[in-house]
């Protein structure tokens, strides 16, 4: 573990009637770690992120972020504490322009009580957001309504909005899904570089094992609501049980 | 004790009237997700048409009891004609648009029809009291009940009963229920939703007109009839649950009895009581006492 | 930004034109403008809510509160200063709006509309049966004064007119500024994606609450001005048909600019005056047809037609 714990999850459980979506999950994540979550569809990866970020309430267990209990808080409180997320299906403001989307995210990250009443399109903000757009290489779309840009651009916008705030812990749900294969590495390079500079802790869900191998230093393998394996990427990906339930057997 | 009897009697009669008026509106909402403000106009048209026909009937000196059949004829006529005009002439172009926008369109239709009614029938009242006194009266303890009122209660029960039986025991009814629960799924199963819509709307319109026609002999058929009725029907439907027919019965009963209680015990609260209940229900159970939450598709 | 400057300049220009016109217009026109601008103020509040996809079918509640606050203040507290009375109207409505807002902020779409209707009809029910307030007849409002002086009827009317124009311009300017802030822009964001707003750290309910209070304040002020202009208040100010008329004006106007509701309201007022004079029996029909035409053909309202013409020019 590289530093002090940022996220401590203990005995986290979630039941939807009879379906066990999360089974006694125990995990500790330290500062500036880069963790990758893998698992088959329905294994509980997104449920885990939903539980930590407050979208659903757990049936039992605790989630501590820098010592503070998150269970019971609404998502907006959790966001304000410094836990941000991007979504599998990009959640953007469809009728507003790409730049405006980012400006709203940026504007809402201002602390201070009267912040809501400051101008949206102040020069500083426009500059900062245009800058952020170019970091993510989507500045060409800045004035297009978010509903009318390519899926990959929308995905990057979603991630950019999640990172507009100075987040301590960032969850990225399938950041490269919807992006063409040849561009996946390029996109992840951009995202990871931007986040490393911020000294953020990153947890990303991924199906593409090449991405996992390249960017995830630690891997959590989920299976049927529980954690099957947890450790350095090489170890977990080589684990026989993980090969059987998640990644499949590698060609020799 | 006598007061209680009066309250119950008044309440049940009023509730029967409310139910007949409101059940069509809730049915249409349940199936088509359309909150039809023009339902009030259907009520008014039913009342005016019935009043006119009854007036002519008695003028010509035909058999008095035949006037009852006239009331039903008026309702059918108005319901079918107006139902076809509204659904085919307007509503079918609005399917799929935002619910609130459709409500505004029906509100616009209501405004138009209000003036149409005035243009046809003028501003004076059209009384048609003759059928009301035809059936005589019944004595029950301290109460002297007009048998027409009792017939109205019977009509409400009939509508409710037939409606329940048709929905739950016939295939056509089950088709309707399927569309109520999940329109897309119903369509995917091969149900002709467009036809279901049309039939439902016609039934709803006939019921609205029936509300007007059946009460024409007991009220003052005059300008502005639809305006007051629609907001009452609305309260019934909201309390019972949008789209729920047993809900309409419950809502009508609740409003009918509370209004009767208010009239006899605290007259200043008459109008207030109705909307207080409606508001409380919306706050505590927004989907109504018997309605259910529609699952949001994520 | 050029667009903002244009609105500010347009407002300033309109203010000057209207105030000047007040000295030349015949008295029926002055009354028409007062009532139309007041209605436009209410519609402005509805426009803001409309941008979030919310329609209030009960705005008449706050309109009536403003009117009755004026009436009661005149009757019980002997207050007649027109500026004081307007402030009282705004304050009363704002207080109620802030309170009810805690409830309303949890509702959306048709439920928001229904609950707002419920509250307004509740108030109507209260008014209509209260003997001390005149029941269905209502009561008269004493002639307003200004800074303690009671002036001639003409002067009073002109001052009330000026006050209304100032209030309208002020409201438009205020809302225009508000819509340029983060909170103001959140209304459209809310309509597009409420989940995202929550996940960016802001309570969606708070946006709705603020909008609701703004709408209440505007409606209350407008109700006060209307009560003073008409000289009489009665429960119909709270009836659902009044709310319906206000919603109609909002749809007619479109949401494209803070100037739109005033334009729409003036058009409505003119239409109403001429229709009631020459074709009273088809007035509602005209309204209904116009509303349908807007819904089916011009969903952005009159303002969008204006913008299209300007773009073509």
Six token digits for residue B180: 């109520």
105-134 of B, contacting C, C-beta below 8 A:
105, 107-116, 118-119
- Please indicate if any CB of chain A lies within 8 Å of the CB of C2: no
**Residue A249: pLDDT band with limits 50, 70, 90:** low
Of A150-164, B40-54, B66-80, C125-139, give the lowest mean pLDDT range: C125-139
HEC sequence for chain A: CCCCEEEEEEEEEEEECCEEEEEEEEEEEECCCEEEEEECCCCCHHHHHHHHCCCCCCCEEEEEECCEECCCCCHHHHHHHCEEEECCCCCCCCCCEHHHHHHHHHHHCCCCHHHHHCECCCHHHHHHHHHHHHHCCCHHHCCCEHHHCCHHHHHHHHHHHHHCCCCCEEEEECCCCCCCHHHHHHHHHHHHHHHHHHCCEEEEECCCHHHHHHHCCEEEEEECCEEEEEEEHHHHHHCHHHHHHHHCCCCC
The number of beta carbons lying within 10 Å of the beta carbon of residue B73 is: 14
How is residue C52 annotated by DSSP? T
- Give exposure, A17-47, as e/b (b: 16+ Cβ within 10 Å): eeebbbbebebebbbbbbbbbbbbeebbbbb
Q: What is the pLDDT of residues A159-218, one digit of tens each?
A: 899 888 887 899 999 888 877 888 788 888 888 887 887 788 999 999 888 888 888 889
Q: Is the pLDDT assigned to residue C99 strictly greater than 80? A: yes
For residues B32-53, average pLDDT: 91
The CATH number assigned to the domain with range A1-82+169-252 reads 3.40.50.300
ipTM confidence score: 0.85
B164: CB partners within 8 A, 6+ apart: B245, B246
Q: What is the pLDDT of residues B56-85, one digit of tens each?
A: 888 888 777 777 888 888 899 999 999 999
| pLDDT mean across residues, chain C | 89
- Please indicate if any CB of chain B lies within 8 Å of the CB of C173: no
Q: What is the pLDDT of residues C56-79, one digit of tens each?
A: 999 999 999 999 999 998 888 888
Q: What is the pTM of this model?
A: 0.87
Nearest CB among C1, C188, C197 relative to A121 is that of: C1
- Please indicate if any CB of chain C lies within 8 Å of the CB of B10: no
- A123-135 vs A151-163: helix crossing angle, rounded to 10: 120
With respect to residue B118, please indicate whether it lies within any of the assigned structural domains.
yes
For residues B206-230, average pLDDT: 87
Rounded to 5°, angle at Cα B280 from B277 and B285: 115
> In chain A, which residues touch C (CB < 8 A)?
53, 74-76, 79-80, 84-85, 91-96, 100, 104-105, 107-110, 115-121, 161-162, 164-165
Contact C85, C224 (CB under 8 A): yes
Task: Check residue A209 and give its pLDDT.
Answer: 86
- What is d(CA C147, CA C281) in angstroms, rounded to the nearest whole number? 44
Q: How far is B286 from chain C (nearest CA, A)?
A: 7
- B99-121 vs B225-240: helix crossing angle, rounded to 10: 150
Q: How far is C197 from chain A (nearest CA, A)?
A: 8
- Please indicate if any CB of chain B lies within 8 Å of the CB of C64: no
- Please indicate if any CB of chain A lies within 8 Å of the CB of C232: no
Task: Check residue A1 and give its pLDDT.
Answer: 44
Task: Check residue C77 and give its pLDDT.
Answer: 85
* CATH number, position B93: 1.10.3470
**Residue B298: pLDDT band with limits 50, 70, 90:** very low
Six token digits for residue B152: 């109205």
Domain hosting B273: range is 2-284
Q: How far is B62 from chain C (nearest CA, A)?
A: 35
Indicate yes or no: CB of C114 within 8 angstroms of CB of B238. yes
Q: Is the pLDDT assigned to residue B262 strictly greater than 90? A: no
Q: Nearest CA to B221 among B20, B65, B52?
A: B52
Q: How far is B231 from chain C (nearest CA, A)?
A: 8
Task: Check residue C2 and give its pLDDT.
Answer: 44
The domain ranges of chain C are: 2-237
DSSP labels, chain B: -HHHHHHHHHHHHHHHHHHHHHHHHHHHHHHH----TTHHHHHHHHHHHHHHHHHHHHHTT--TTHHHHHHHHHHHHHHHHHHHHHHHHTGGGGTTS-HHHHHHHHHHHHHHHHHHHHHHH-SS-----GGGGTT-EEEETTEEEEHHHHHHHHHHHHHHHHHHHHHHHSHHHHHHHHHHH-HHHHHHTT--HHHHHHHHHHHHHHHHHHHHHHHGGGS---TTHHHHHHHHHHHHHHHH-TT-HHHHHHHHHHHHHHHHHHHHH-GGGHHHHHHHHHHHHHHH-TT-SS--PPPPP-
Q: Is the pLDDT assigned to residue C312 strictly greater than 70? A: no
Task: Check residue A252 and give its pLDDT.
Answer: 43
Chain C residues with beta carbon closer than 8 angstroms to that of A118: 181-182
Long-range contacts of C76-82 (CB under 8 A, 24+ apart): C80/C142, C80/C143, C80/C144, C80/C145, C80/C150, C81/C144, C81/C145, C81/C146, C81/C147, C81/C148, C82/C144, C82/C145, C82/C146, C82/C159, C82/C160, C82/C163, C82/C228
How is residue C144 annotated by DSSP? P
Indicate yes or no: CB of C283 within 8 angstroms of CB of B115. yes
- Please indicate if any CB of chain B lies within 8 Å of the CB of C200: no
Contact A104, A120 (CB under 8 A): yes
The domain ranges of chain A are: 1-82+169-252, 93-165
With respect to residue B74, please indicate whether it lies within any of the assigned structural domains.
yes
Indicate yes or no: CB of C287 within 8 angstroms of CB of B90. no
With respect to residue B298, please indicate whether it lies within any of the assigned structural domains.
no
A159: CB partners within 8 A, 6+ apart: A86, A136, A172, A175, A191
The total number of structural domains in chain B stands at 1
C155: CB partners within 8 A, 6+ apart: none
**Residue A112: pLDDT band with limits 50, 70, 90:** low
Task: Indicate the burial class of B28 (C-beta count within 10 angstroms; 0-12, 13-18, 19 or more).
Answer: buried
Task: Check residue A111 and give its pLDDT.
Answer: 66
180-219 of B, contacting C, C-beta below 8 A:
none
């Amino acid at each position: 573990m590289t530093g002090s714990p940022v996220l401590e999850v203990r005995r986290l459980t979630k039941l939807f009637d009879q379906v066990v979506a999360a089974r006694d999950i125990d995990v500790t994540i330290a500062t500036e770690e880069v963790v990758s979550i893998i698992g088959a569809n329905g294994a509980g990866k997104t449920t885990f992120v939903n539980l930590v970020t407050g979208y659903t309430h757990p049936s039992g267990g605790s989630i501590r972020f820098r010592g503070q209990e998150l269970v019971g808080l609404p998502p907006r409180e959790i966001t304000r504490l410094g836990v941000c997320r991007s979504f599998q299906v990009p959640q953007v403001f469809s009728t507003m322009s790409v730049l405006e989307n980012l400006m709203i995210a940026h504007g809402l990250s201002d602390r201070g009580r009267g912040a809501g009443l400051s101008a949206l399109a102040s020069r500083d903000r426009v500059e900062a957001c245009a800058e952020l757009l170019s970091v993510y290489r989507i500045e060409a779309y800045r004035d297009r309504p978010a509903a009318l840009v390519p899926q990959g651009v929308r995905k990057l916008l979603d991630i950019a909005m999640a990172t507009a705030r100075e987040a301590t812990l960032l969850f990225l749900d399938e950041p490269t899904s919807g992006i063409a294969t040849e561009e996946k590495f390029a996109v992840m390079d951009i995202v990871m570089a931007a986040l490393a500079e911020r000294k953020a802790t990153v947890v990303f869900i991924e199906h593409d094992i090449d991405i996992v191998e390249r960017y995830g230093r630690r891997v959590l393998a989920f299976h049927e609501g529980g954690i099957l394996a947890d450790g350095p990427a090489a170890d977990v990906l080589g684990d026989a049980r993980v090969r059987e339930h998640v990644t499949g057997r590698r060609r020799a | 004790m006598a007061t209680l009897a009066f309250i119950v009697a008044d309440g049940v009669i009023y509730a029967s009237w409310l139910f007949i008026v409101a059940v069509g509106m809730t049915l249409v909402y349940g199936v088509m997700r359309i909150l039809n403000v023009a339902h009030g106009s259907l009520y008014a048209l039913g009342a005016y048409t019935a009043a006119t026909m009854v007036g002519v009937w008695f003028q010509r000196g035909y058999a008095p009891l035949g006037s009852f059949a006239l009331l039903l004829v008026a309702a059918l006529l108005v319901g079918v004609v107006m139902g076809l005009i509204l659904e085919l002439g307007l509503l079918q172009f609005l399917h799929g648009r935002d619910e609130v926008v459709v409500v505004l369109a029906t509100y616009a239709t209501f405004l138009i029809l209000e003036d149409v009614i005035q243009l046809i029938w003028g501003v004076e009242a059209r009384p048609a009291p003759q059928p009301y006194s035809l059936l005589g009266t019944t004595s029950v303890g301290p109460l002297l009940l007009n048998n027409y009122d009792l017939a109205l209660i019977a009509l409400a029960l009939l509508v409710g009963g037939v409606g329940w039986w048709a929905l739950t025991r016939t295939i056509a009814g089950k088709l309707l229920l399927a569309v109520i629960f999940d329109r897309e799924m119903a369509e995917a199963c091969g149900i002709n939703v467009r036809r279901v819509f049309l039939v439902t709307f016609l039934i709803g319109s006939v019921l609205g007109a029936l509300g007007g026609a059946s009460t024409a002999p007991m009220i003052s058929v005059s300008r502005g009839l639809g305006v007051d009725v629609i907001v009452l029907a609305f309260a019934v439907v909201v309390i019972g649950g949008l789209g729920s027919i047993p809900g309409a019965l419950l809502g009508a009963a609740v409003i009918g009895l509370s209004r009767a209680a208010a009239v006899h015990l605290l007259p200043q609260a008459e109008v207030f009581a109705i909307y207080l209940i409606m508001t409380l229900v919306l706050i505590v159970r927004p989907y109504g006492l018997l309605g259910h939450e529609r699952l949001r598709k994520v | 930004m050029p667009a903002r400057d244009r609105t500010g300049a347009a407002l300033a220009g309109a203010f000057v034109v209207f105030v000047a016109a007040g000295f030349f217009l015949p008295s029926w026109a002055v009354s028409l403008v007062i009532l139309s601008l007041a209605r436009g103020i209410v519609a402005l509040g509805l426009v803001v809510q409309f941008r979030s996809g919310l329609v209030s079918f009960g705005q008449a509640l706050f309109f009536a509160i403003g009117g009755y606050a004026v009436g009661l203040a005149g009757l019980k507290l002997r207050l007649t200063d027109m500026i004081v009375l307007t402030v009282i109207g705004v304050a009363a409505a704002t207080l109620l709006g802030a309170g009810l807002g805690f409830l309303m902020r949890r509702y959306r779409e048709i439920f928001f509309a229904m609950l707002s209707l419920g509250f307004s009809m509740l108030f109507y029910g209260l008014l209509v049966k209260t003997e001390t307030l005149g029941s269905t007849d209502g009561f008269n409002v004493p002639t307003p004064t200004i800074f303690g002086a009671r002036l001639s009827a003409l002067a009073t009317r002109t001052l009330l007119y000026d006050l209304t124009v100032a209030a309208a311009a002020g409201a438009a300017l205020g809302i225009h500024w508000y819509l340029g802030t983060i909170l103001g822009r959140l209304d459209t964001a809310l309509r597009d994606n409420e989940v995202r707003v929550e996940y960016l750290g802001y309570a969606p309910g708070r946006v709705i609450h603020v909008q609701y209070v703004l709408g209440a304040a505007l409606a209350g002020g407008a109700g006060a001005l209307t009560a003073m202009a008409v000289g009489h208040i009665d429960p119909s100010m709270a009836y659902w048909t009044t709310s319906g008329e206000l919603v109609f004006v909002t749809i007619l106007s479109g949401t494209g600019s803070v100037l739109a509701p005033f334009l729409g309201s003036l058009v409505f007022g003119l239409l109403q005056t001429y229709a009631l004079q020459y074709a009273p029996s088809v007035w509602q029909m005209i309204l209904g047809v116009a509303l349908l035409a807007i819904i089916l053909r011009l969903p952005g309202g009159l303002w969008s037609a204006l913008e299209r013409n300007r773009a073509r020019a």
